[in-house]
Structure 1
């Protein structure tokens, strides 16, 4: 069993608060992604869990034991950094064996553990290689293996794939997820990539200004974002500020029935939920650009006031720049005062 508890953790750097009264419980065997823009506090939080930063306030516990001020080498955590942080003067085997030697294990036991974890990450037989002879993806596998060989209770991953190309990044994240599920190791994963979080996580914690904006399953965060920030940060979202009067939302000629009280509101419509209709003569909007991705196309649409929206269509060939269109949102949500006030049934998935 390995349960991580973060209770009211704050980290201040002089006059800047990087993490602000943050709390989170990560269950045994759960993989939680901390997702947010640069400066949201996610990496600082991870470093505090790993012992590389000390909280200004709050408590961090693993299996009920307070580790808030325990140094990194004495915590049951393993951390994988974006930069790999491998020792270039050691070969792969010695990079992995170093921590085990500090534990005074016998040579035969060290070799058994190292070879087993290299097999686990798909690098069986690579022990004698120098780290400089490896590709970026192989180096990241070594960095992961170096953490796993110490059998940590909590695995910490700080944007480990950020420096890799897209195809390698996708392959490695699938491999990491498979390994994590096979070992059932409790994992905290930091990323600013929405696709990465949606593909990997049991739960996503969206962070903003050092606080939790929303924490839930990936499908819930995507389909039911609780704030305009989450709506705009997860996936692609059209956000329109407008006014509701007599049950109708209006923005620059676009009207949508909205059963909420009168006042300002922000309408949120995903591109895949925004239908466009060809209209003869003139419409409420004009197509600005069509981008064909083969499997689908994205149509950039300009409203009369210059605001641009995106719609996803199955075929690019029916649409052209300059074409007048009408807009028909079939699923949408609305926000006021930084909270959801309406969500259509289709928007719930």
Structure 2
């Protein structure tokens, strides 16, 4: 197991484009950390600088207290899995996996043992003679993962490896990768723009925005206690209502909740599962649409000023389009000037 330390790395491309701005992070031995953010947030650039495929403009990258900032990729104790798989199509699976081991000068019998073991690990035992273009997308991604793991890296780097796969295959593979990572206890950094992947796989999530860390914490904390409106809106579904605080209450038309903050403009944020509905005529909101997902229903609502909200309900057949309802927030957060002012929870 190995420790990854990143201190103040930045990347400025020719022309002055700042991709990463003073980014720091420690990843503990055996930990899986997800870098999560929209396109252009700098997450893949961070990963490429750790792997040696981009040179930082400033900052230091260390693995087990040894600086590797300017060490070329082939000499770093890292293994990287790309979104595109990057497999050699003129080689079969065995040769793809054995290539790096041959460069290290390992004897043929040791190479064979390592390749067979890693193919077993990723669920592809017996696939060594297959050509890579004869494999499905999911199998190709397993081979790409195996090619990195066979070199026994200290740090595993995954750059949106499931982005090109369909939803069901993505879900299955991320469970398999998480199982393998925990079994090997390998320190892993995983880049994704998919919140579901981050929430289901990560020990910690680092939400990135404009090349910087917006918030870093455990998945449940990121979801339940977002520190900025950006994090609140990027992780999961969030309802935002603009209003004003006066005399200890946030108010927007007929929606009002007590908040112990100073007067002024503010933004109320409520998760759909924390927004209760009660039939009420007249009420501050009108049902626009109801979607029944079997396990729950999602009610689309509209306030008088056109603000749209969503509420998760256990019995969707109790609501219908055009119905007037009252809103009962069970938990919410309040934001002002791009930071959280106050938060309550459903069990408070």
Q: Describe the superposition over 1:182-203 as per-residue Cα deviations: whole angstroms up to 9, x where unpaired.
A: 0000000000010100100000
> SS state of the match for residue 109, structure 1?
helix
Q: Distance in 2 between matches of 1:41 and 1:242?
A: 33
2:341 aligns to what? 341
> SS state of the match for residue 167, structure 1?
helix
Q: Distance in 2 between matches of 1:127 and 1:73?
A: 24
1:37 aligns to what? 38
Give yes or no for the alignment of 1:244 onto 2:237.
no
Q: Distance in 2 between matches of 1:319 and 1:198?
A: 30
CA contact (8 A) 2:250 2:256 kept: yes
> SS state of the match for residue 262, structure 2?
coil
Q: Describe the superposition over 1:37-57 as per-residue Cα deviations: whole angstroms up to 9, x where unpaired.
A: 011000010000000000000
1:6 aligns to what? 6
1:145 aligns to what? 146
CA contact (8 A) 2:285 2:302 kept: yes
CA contact (8 A) 1:333 1:347 kept: no
CA contact (8 A) 1:224 1:347 kept: no
> SS state of the match for residue 111, structure 2?
helix
1:346, CA displacement in angstroms? 2.5
CA contact (8 A) 1:43 1:158 kept: yes
Q: Which runs of 5+ in 1 are unaligned?
A: none
1:315, CA displacement in angstroms? 1.8
> SS state of the match for residue 346, structure 2?
helix
2:185 aligns to what? 184
1:18, CA displacement in angstroms? 0.4
2:317 aligns to what? 317
> SS state of the match for residue 225, structure 1?
coil
Q: Describe the superposition over 1:75-133 as per-residue Cα deviations: whole angstroms up to 9, x where unpaired.
A: 00000001100000000000000000000100000000000000000000000000011
1:347, CA displacement in angstroms? 7.3
Q: Distance in 1 between matches of 2:316 and 2:28?
A: 45
- 1:130-169 equivalences under 5 Å are 130-169=131-170
> SS state of the match for residue 346, structure 1?
coil
Give yes or no for the alignment of 1:273 onto 2:274.
yes
Q: Bigger shift: 257-266 or 207-216?
A: 257-266
Q: Distance in 2 between matches of 1:316 and 1:330?
A: 18
Q: Describe the superposition over 1:179-233 as per-residue Cα deviations: whole angstroms up to 9, x where unpaired.
A: 0000000000000010100100000000000000000000111111111110111
**TM-score after normalising by structure 1:** 0.98
CA contact (8 A) 2:330 2:345 kept: no
1:106 aligns to what? 107
1:56 aligns to what? 57
Q: Distance in 2 between matches of 1:84 and 1:298?
A: 37
CA contact (8 A) 1:332 1:347 kept: no
Q: Which runs of 5+ in 2 are unaligned?
A: none
1:339, CA displacement in angstroms? 1.4
> SS state of the match for residue 195, structure 1?
helix
Q: Bigger shift: 187-196 or 333-342?
A: 333-342
1:283, CA displacement in angstroms? 1.2
CA contact (8 A) 1:279 1:325 kept: yes
Runs of 4+ with >2 A deviation: 345-348
